[in-house]
Amino acid sequence: MDEDPIGRIKNITTCLLSSLPAGIALVAAAKTRSPDEVQAVIDSGVRILGYNYVQEAERMYEVIGNSAQWHMIGHLQKNKIKKAVRLFDMIETVDSEELARELDRHCAIVNKKMPVLVEINSGKESNKTGILPEDAEQLILCMSGLPNLQVQGLMTMGPLSGDPEHARPYFRTTKAVFDRISQAEIPNVSMRYLSMGMSNSYKIAVEEGANIIRIGTLLFGERNS
């Protein structure tokens, strides 16, 4: 008899967590997943949920609550910032000064200092969000003066599919930016986290310095259409 889907998720999650090197945080990319599926990864040891859309995260929060941390891992629209600052524990996708200033303004209203990562468009792809690698340091210098944000590192996407090795140059580019900004010792900037790698590429990402990986399909299976 086939294993039940929730049991499968729990087994895979437990195995994956046990296989990761020390210091690697796993973000369960939970877009479109059911409450039972999300609860299964939490029961198996996942401590961070990642969502691409604020409204979907809001609905899941009503079920899951504070039993996990919440990371925004999708592009954040300006009209969703007010809700996002109340819901999320980290925004991984800041990619412009305009977005940073709006986040800072809304965080001030709720008296919250938001940990953020700057998203790098490491492949310089016109169809992807993120700031170009060569522009990241200037953005972070601007953000360092925003009192309600705490820059804690960088995030990048890399290729979504194909040979995982194709992602390695993207990750190396982002790690080089990470190292350069770390050495700059910018005030109010703590370069702690490098969020890179997904289900098909997380092993390569860890080899290249990632300490946050964002895993969806590997844990939950393919998404329904």
CATH of domain 5-220: 3.20.20.10
Give the single-character DSSP code of 223.
P
Full-model pTM: 0.94
**Is 86 within 8 Å of 114 (Cβ atoms)?**
no
Decide: helix, strand or coil at residue 199. Answer: coil
What is d(CA 79, CA 83) in angstroms, rounded to the nearest whole number? Answer: 9
- pLDDT class of 1 with cuts at 50, 70, 90: very low
Q: Which of 63, 61, 65, 71 is nearest to 26 (CA)?
A: 71
The percentage of residues in the chain with a pLDDT greater than 90, rounded to a whole number, is 89
Neighbours of 138 (CB within 10 A): 11
Single-letter residue type at 95: D
Domain ranges of the chain: 5-220
pLDDT (tens digit per residue) in 113-142: 999 999 999 988 777 889 999 999 999 999
